[in-house]
Amino acid sequence: MTNKQSENLKNGLSIVSICLGIAAVFLWEFSVISILAIIFGIVGLIFNKNKWTPGIGVVLGLIFLLVRISQGHIDRGFSVTQSENNTSVADVPLVLSNLNIPPTASPDDNKEIYSNPDYLKNPSGYLVDTTNKIMSSPYGKTFWVEDATDYGHLKISYVVESNGEQILEVQTIAIPSIGDPANDQSITNGLISSLWKTTSLSRCWNDGAVEFLKANFQGKNLSLFLTNKATNEYALEYTDGQEGEHGEGLLLKDAAYLIISNGYGSLAQPSLAKALGQMRTNTVDNNYNELYSAEGVASLAKKGLWGTCTATNAK
């Protein structure tokens, strides 16, 4: 190999290192990328006179490898078989004769319990569908809130009849107009979403939002009502506690407004298609503007999580 070829190889290793380091910024979950950036960078530092190119690759690789390790383990980019309970093959003892194998659990041992009042009247009379096998949609329906799964999603249930069978349909729905706080620059202070999600502030926002959703909606009936037929938009509405002439509850309140105005949610940004549609029809989304103002007031007044989940208060 000539001196020129050798120099080209050394420069190539350095360039590969910095490219892998940059890739690790966006693909930090795949730890093999960070590791390769470090390896190529070290080789470049040893043999290349130009130290800054491989040096940046090494630094970026180390930073995002540590970010991945902070999540608990390195699991992507390597051929490690995962079982259903998330135990890797490497975790299984080689000496099987010393294992104390528990009795086989019956199918009912892991059966989930649902609180839907219609279902509880006669649980044995219902089939439970948790994977939407009958292609049922909750839109336009009233349903029971079983649980809150994260900052913007509810686990719901409702009863449908299909082929002569009573079925408890269990689904997880996104709350309309509620966005991921990791995508809100006023919450993350400019930190990229993938990094912000590794911080205690992210856990604070999610845990606080879940607690608020459970306190206000769990064990209650909510509805998804069509608000804009042209754009097929829905709003999640809840009973406001008032009673109509015949004692019925009035579904008058927007759940997204309650969440955002109290400081327990981030407003989702409108989609590009929606923005273009508004420009084409020269219309204004008053609901979005109302929610935007409500979020602004909540942040200024440090309501809810705006006051709790700060750099000084988050645990």
- pLDDT for position 48: 65
- pLDDT for position 4: 60
- pLDDT for position 91: 41
Which range is least confidently modeled, 102-111, 182-191, 306-315?
A: 102-111
- pLDDT for position 92: 37
- pLDDT for position 77: 39
Query: Which is more confidently placed, 262 or 97?
Result: 262
Query: Is the pLDDT reported for residue 280 higher than 50?
Result: yes
From residue 57, alpha-carbon distances to 22, 41, 69, 176 in Å are 7, 6, 18, 42
Which range is least confidently modeled, 46-60, 87-101, 119-133?
A: 87-101
Q: Is residue 204 within 8 Å of 315, Cβ to Cβ?
A: yes
Residue pLDDT, tens place only, 157-171: 999 999 999 999 999
From residue 272, alpha-carbon distances to 191, 263, 279, 285 in Å are 23, 26, 11, 14
Q: What percent of the chain has pLDDT over 70?
A: 59
What is the pLDDT averaged over residues 185-198? Answer: 89
Q: Residue 315: exposed, middle, or buried by beta-carbon count in 10 A (0-12, 13-18, 19+)? A: exposed
Ranges 23-37, 89-103, 183-197, most confident: 183-197
- pLDDT for position 25: 67
Q: Residue 268: exposed, middle, or buried by beta-carbon count in 10 A (0-12, 13-18, 19+)? A: buried
What is the pLDDT averaged over residues 118-126? Answer: 94
Nearest Cα to 204, choosing from 312, 314, 304?
314
What is the pLDDT averaged over residues 29-55? Answer: 69
- What CATH fold (topology level) applies to the domain 178-308? OB fold (Dihydrolipoamide Acetyltransferase, E2P) (2.40.50)
- pLDDT for position 315: 42
Nearest Cα to 259, choosing from 205, 204, 183, 310?
205
